């Protein structure tokens, strides 16, 4: 079953797992050590992230290491970019309004 990546990242534990493995790969046990939930719960979160292709796993000897799938994260960033542009435009407009208000206040003191 293929899951929706946005549903997957809506969970705070899964976002925390993504943040943990963003810098380097980790085993499920190492990941689980960072949470106050059962290892089975962590395994479930990892399975969902794997189904969404947000993480990949690599076997090294007897250990399995989970790491971040960068290309899938780029899909999320691409989707967010449209909103980033909207907010940047709004912040620029707000800056202009605040500058206008500040200039009007300064003009009152000069007169």
- pTM: predicted TM-score of the whole model, two decimal places: 0.73
Q: For 81-99, what is each residue's pLDDT tens digit?
A: 989 889 989 989 999 989 9
- Is pLDDT of 1 > 60? no
pLDDT, tens only, 26-79: 999 999 999 999 999 999 999 999 999 999 999 999 999 999 998 888 888 888
Parallel, antiparallel, or unpaired: how do β-strands 55-60 and 63-68 relate?
antiparallel
Tell me what pLDDT residue 2 has.
63
Whether 35 and 26 have beta carbons less than 8 Å apart is answered as no
- Give the model's pLDDT for residue 104: 83
Take residue 16 and report the two structure tokens written for it. Answer: 């925390």
């Amino acid at each position: 079953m293929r899951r929706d990546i946005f549903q997957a990242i809506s969970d705070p534990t899964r976002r925390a797992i993504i943040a943990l493995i963003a810098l380097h790969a980790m085993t499920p046990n190492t990941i689980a050590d960072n949470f106050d939930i059962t290892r089975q719960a962590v395994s479930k979160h990892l399975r969902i992230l794997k189904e969404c292709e947000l993480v990949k796993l690599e076997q090294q000897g007897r250990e399995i290491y989970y790491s971040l799938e960068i290309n899938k994260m780029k899909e999320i960033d691409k989707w967010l970019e449209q909103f980033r542009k909207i907010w940047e435009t709004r912040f620029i407009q707000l800056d202009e309004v605040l500058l206008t208000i500040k200039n009007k206040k300064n003009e009152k003191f000069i007169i």
